[in-house]
Amino acid sequence: MRPKTIALLLAAALLGSRPLPAKTFELETASIGDIQEAVDAGALTYEKLVSLYLARIEAYDQKGPALNTVITLNPHALEQARALDAERKSKGPRGPLHGIPILVKDNYNTFDLPTTGGTFLLDGSLPYEDAKMIKDLRAAGVIILAKVNMDEFAHGGIGFSSRGGQTRNPHDPRRHPAGSSGGTGAGLAAWFAPLGLGSDTGGSIRGPSSANGIVGIKPTNGLLSRAGIMPCVLAFDTGGPMARTVYDAALSLGFMTGIDSKDPLTQTSAGLFYKDYTQFLKKDSLKGVRVGVIRDYAGTDPEVDKVYAAALQELKALGAELVDPVNFPPIALQNRTMVMDPVRNSEVREDYAAYLSELRPGFPKSLAELADKGIALTEPTGKFHPHPSVFTRFKRLSEGPPITSPTFTAARQHGMAAVRGAVLGLFEDKKLDVIVYPTRSRQPEIIDPETPKIIDRPSPPSLTSIANVTQFPDVIVPAGLTAEKMPVTISFFGPAYSEPKLLAYAYTYEQATHHRVSPSTTPALPGEKFEY
């Protein structure tokens, strides 16, 4: 054998004996795919993963910044993780969500954990069965790590409830996390889990996603079943995923779609839903896309405007064609007073009576009973906090006009259709593929301890309710930080069942910019980063 050949063989042998370059696992940035890759390699178990997240909750939920997100911690989470580890070894994984811990807003029915809706009046209420979305996710192998705080009955936008108290924003614990899915938003930002569930009636997934700097999906109403989710205003309600990345949110969405006989609205999704939305995620999806730039409520907060302006330039650099400015029609901007309020004033009483009738004995059975018992709590009692504003509002709603009233009928049947038609007309007139706007017009406010007592607290300008009245989808992605280091997000808004396109646009923008920032108040803990 020639010397040169021998040298080459020796070199190849030496190279072959070297260990492969190590991969780094970092809980802070780990996607669901990163988690499963580490498990595949034998470097991580689901039990260890749950332990890491529980350690973060222990360190930061009631200690440190005291975010106060958790209402009920799953006492069997580690046991369930061990069982899923064993199942994976013996049978293989159920799929990409196998063993993944999630945070669940406490208005989703869970048969094994209480569902309180954030109210002391339902403390200890154990539903007979899971909500449909929870059933779907459990079947996929997820672990419910915790039920998390929310605005009481999802009525509010500051993350306060009589059952859980005030949740704080991890980016600045002096500020609120927005609502009503504030516990999910704050918990995900602090990376207590990679995935969570919220619900949205007028912006309750999107507000907390924005205030906490994460990803959220308010899907087309009818894409996901509302069965087993405590109602807020059923005409506008939908559940949806919240996550730390667009990919993870899109991944989870497909596991929850489908027609459900217990929610007739899901019939509208027939032939229009997908079981895998990750197939649409491409990094060049914005090229040639006509983007309508919404300027309504510009000037509310100069810092938000500044981040939004930078985001628009980023969209343009990614190949988007900006149609600027675009303004929502007046009827859409007036949707709260013209449509949402008349529907809510009549429907809430009926919606709550239907939900309460399905609870176990011993709990209130009507909105009026909820109001009277809630108003009676005037001083803190143990873990419960007075919340006169929401219960006074409920008292008014319990005495509102019936759903047979002409005002309700006009708003429900004609008002919603009129807003939907006006928004579709905007898309058609401007030949738009998507509309973008800053999800929240201003940064989260400093927490006012008197807010739960203020009966008629003015609402900040908001565009999010347009998606609920039209029942159209809206995907939220981080866009940057203000000078105060508070997150700002942009919303990708489109017609019914345009989730594939919206997710693709959001993914392209996210992957090009990587604007999500972890809060400084919840730093990494020992053991969260390792090589394998």
d(CA 74, CA 97): 18
Alpha-carbon radius of gyration of the chain: 24
Q: Which two tokens stand for residue 393?
A: 């509002």
- Angle between helix 341-356 and helix 367-375 axes, rounded to 10 deg: 90
Structure tokens at 222: 């009818």
- C-alpha dist (Å) from residue 136 to 28, 77, 301: 27, 18, 40
Q: Which residue has the tokens 């392209």?
A: 508
User: Cα–Cα distance between 484 and 78 in angstroms, integer?
Assistant: 38
Name the phi and psi angles at 165, rounded to 5: 80, -155
User: Position of tokens 């070297």?
Assistant: 18
Task: Find, among 192, 248, 195, 242, the residue nearest to 218 by Cα.
Answer: 242
Q: How many residues does the chain have?
A: 532
How many other CB atoms are there within 10 angstroms of residue 19's CB atom? 5
What is d(CA 480, CA 490) in angstroms, rounded to the nearest whole number? 9
Residue partners of 495: CB distance under 8 A and separation at least 6: 424, 427, 472
Picking from 159, 155, 200, 199, the residue whose alpha carbon sits closest to that of residue 176 is 159
CA angle at 478 for the pair 475 and 484, rounded to the nearest 5°: 140
Active site residue ranges: 105, 180, 204
Residues 6+ apart with CB under 8 A from 49: 35, 39, 81, 99, 101
Q: Which amino acid is at 292?
A: G
- Dihedrals phi, psi of 451, to nearest 5 degrees: -55, -45
> How would you list the strands of the sheet with 321-326, edge to edge?
70-73, 143-148, 101-105, 195-200, 238-243, 215-218, 474-481, 487-493, 434-438, 290-294, 321-326
